[in-house]
Amino acid sequence: MKSSVIIFPGSNCDRDMDVALKKFGFKNKMVWHNETSVPKSDLIVLPGGFSYGDYLRCGSIASKSKIINSVIEFANKGGLVIGVCNGFQILIETGLVAGALLRNKYLKFICKNIYVKANKVKNKYFHKIKKDILELHIAHNDGNYFCSKDDLNFLQDNDLIACKYCDINGEVSENSNPNGSIENIAGVFNKNKNILGMMPHPERVIDNCLSSNDGSYFFENLLSNMR
Amino acid sequence: MKIKVIVTPKKGVLDPQGKAIQQTLNSMNFIDVNEVRQGKYFEIETDIKNEKDAKKNVEEICKKLLANLVIEDYEII
């Protein structure tokens, strides 16, 4: 399987994502934001970081990059696109996924491991995943997911909430919500579930020598669902 | 011509920065302050000479970049 990671000025999780994708068997290419087309890919990843210094709104400037039109075209044809952290913010700003990401509720940059409960219903990312309560890492200042009531109803009615913050036992509550996100939302899909935006970083937890190895389940499962 | 724009969080959208400012003001004895909303202010210099056309153009700019209409309102002044 071929993947492409887009690099924006200020991306800083692009290399980690490259390492993770390659570790699990993707043939990955790095693509500079100023390119006008993405090489033939089965998966495009928008990585985390601080594209354009988070100027204006996180992800807003990157969402107007030259490369983005071909990412949108790829996504609209059903191609798999993941945006992690700043990548999620960029997806939001392109309008490919619903909602917005506000400043964290308690105004603190949060950098820690959290648990998310994955939605396994009919999607390439989490369907059949061996473990559905995953210990992943978050590191963000603006991850407080917000959307209109209509959008929330649409997300809920169509199983488009990709993952929710929970505790170690999978219980979703106010106590397990690190940033004030509506309904503990940590990630969402687009309508066709080919696009996944999520704040947690699976690529940071892919080895037993790290604080968790649960990102491995994510990448292994994705690859297996793509085959 | 210079066009000015103010972008603010929509009513009902949590504005934790505004809330923190309000609480600080209260602790500074400005006890009358019961809400603060923090926004952004832009000054846009444009080559368009006609004010109506310039504002129409800035409206597009607001919708496409300056404001995220899911969470923000804009006002051209």
Distance to chain B for A184, nearest Cα, Å: 15
Q: Are strands A80-84 and A195-198 parallel, antiparallel or unpaired?
A: parallel
pLDDT given at position B16? 87
**What residues of chain A score a pLDDT lower than 50?**
none
pLDDT given at position A146? 96
- A–B interface: beta-carbon pairs under 8 A: 35
- For B41, the closest chain A residue by CA position comes to A56
User: What domains lie within chain B, and their CATH numbers?
Assistant: 2-76 (3.30.1280.10)
Give the three-state DSSP class for A190. coil
Give the three-state DSSP class for A25. coil
pLDDT given at position B2? 96
The helix (run of H) or strand (run of E) holding residue A84 is: strand A80-84
ipTM for the assembly:
0.83
Give the pLDDT confidence of B16-72 residue by residue, as tens digits: 889 999 999 999 999 999 999 999 999 999 999 999 999 999 999 999 999 999 999
A203 catalytic? Reply is yes
Around Cβ A42, how many Cβ atoms within 10 Å?
A: 15
Around Cβ A177, how many Cβ atoms within 10 Å?
A: 20
Residues of A in contact with B68 (CB under 8 A): 57, 60, 93, 100
How far apart, in whole angstroms, are the C-alpha atoms of residue A39 and residue A31? 8
**Mapped to the 3 state alphabet, what secondary structure does A129-157 carry?**
CCCCEEEEEEEECCCEEECCHHHHHHHHH
CA distances from B7 to A126, B10, B76 (A): 38, 9, 9
Choose among A56, A99, A103: nearest Cβ to B17: A103
Whether B16 sits inside 8 A of A103 (CB atoms) is: yes
A193 vs B12 pLDDT, higher one: A193
Residues of A in contact with B66 (CB under 8 A): 56
Residues of B in contact with A106 (CB under 8 A): 16
Residues of A in contact with B20 (CB under 8 A): 107
Is there a contact between A113 and A135 (Cβ–Cβ < 8 Å)?
Answer: yes
Q: Is B12 on the interface with A (CB under 8 A)?
A: no
Q: Is B33 on the interface with A (CB under 8 A)?
A: no
Is there a contact between B1 and B45 (Cβ–Cβ < 8 Å)?
Answer: yes
Q: Is B17 on the interface with A (CB under 8 A)?
A: yes
pLDDT given at position A42? 98
Among A13, A58, A85, A166, the active-site one is A85
pTM above 0.80, yes or no: yes
CATH architecture of the domain with residue range A2-226? 3-Layer(aba) Sandwich (3.40)
Residue B14, pLDDT > 90, answer no
The helix (run of H) or strand (run of E) holding residue A221 is: helix A215-226
Distance to chain A for B33, nearest Cα, Å: 20
Residues of B in contact with A143 (CB under 8 A): none
pLDDT bin (cut points 50, 70, 90) of residue B12 is confident
A35 catalytic? Reply is no
Domain edges within chain A? 2-226
